[in-house]
């Protein structure tokens, strides 16, 4: 995230990521590391503000973060990921509950995602 093109999330439904409510819409995404380096958050950026400011993805540090959602830190194991990989995977028997996983090098971050569907 923050290289080449903007990573984005588009949702037509309300969702929660790590308990943070996300309204339907389009968001550019980034990652924010805590000052002490012990934790990570998924950063949500307003694409309209980015376009007005004429920011490219490599200038992500200049973009205003609207809000964040915490990510869980995992160790990727003995096979480091060469390129940044983002996977959104539904639980086998419950498509309203998913896991978002962001991996690169030896690090993997994850967050639970819940989809709200009107009945």
Q: Give domain limits for the chain.
A: 7-115
Name the pLDDT band for 119 (thresholds 50, 70, 90): low
Write down the mean pLDDT value for the chain.
90
Q: Are the C-beta atoms of 109 and 101 separated by less than 8 Å?
A: yes
State if pTM tops 0.85: yes
Predicted local distance difference test score (pLDDT) of residue 11: 93
Rounded average pLDDT over 40-55: 95
- Asked if residue 2 has pLDDT above 70, the reply is no
Query: Which residue has tokens 């309204």?
Result: 23
Predicted local distance difference test score (pLDDT) of residue 76: 60
- Asked if residue 35 has pLDDT above 70, the reply is yes
At residue 77's C-alpha, the angle toward residues 74 and 83, to 5°, is 85
As a three-state string, the secondary structure of the chain is: CCECECEEEEECCCEEECCEEECCEEEEEEEEECCCCCCEEEEEECHHHHHHHCCCHHHHHHCCEEEEEEEEEEECCCCCEEEEEEEEEEECCEEEEEEEEEEEECEEEEEEEEECCCC
- Asked if residue 43 has pLDDT above 70, the reply is yes
């Amino acid at each position: 995230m923050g290289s080449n093109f903007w990573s984005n999330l588009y949702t037509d439904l309300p969702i929660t990521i790590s308990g943070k409510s996300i309204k339907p819409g389009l968001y550019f995404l980034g990652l924010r590391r805590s000052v002490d380096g012990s934790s990570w958050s998924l950063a949500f950026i307003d694409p309209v503000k980015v376009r007005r400011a004429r920011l490219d993805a490599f200038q992500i540090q200049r973009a205003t973060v609207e809000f964040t959602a915490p990510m869980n830190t995992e160790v990727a194991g003995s096979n480091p990921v060469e390129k940044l990989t983002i996977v959104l995977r539904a639980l086998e028997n419950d498509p309203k509950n998913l896991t978002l996983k962001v991996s690169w090098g030896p690090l993997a971050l994850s967050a639970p995602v819940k989809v709200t569907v009107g009945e």
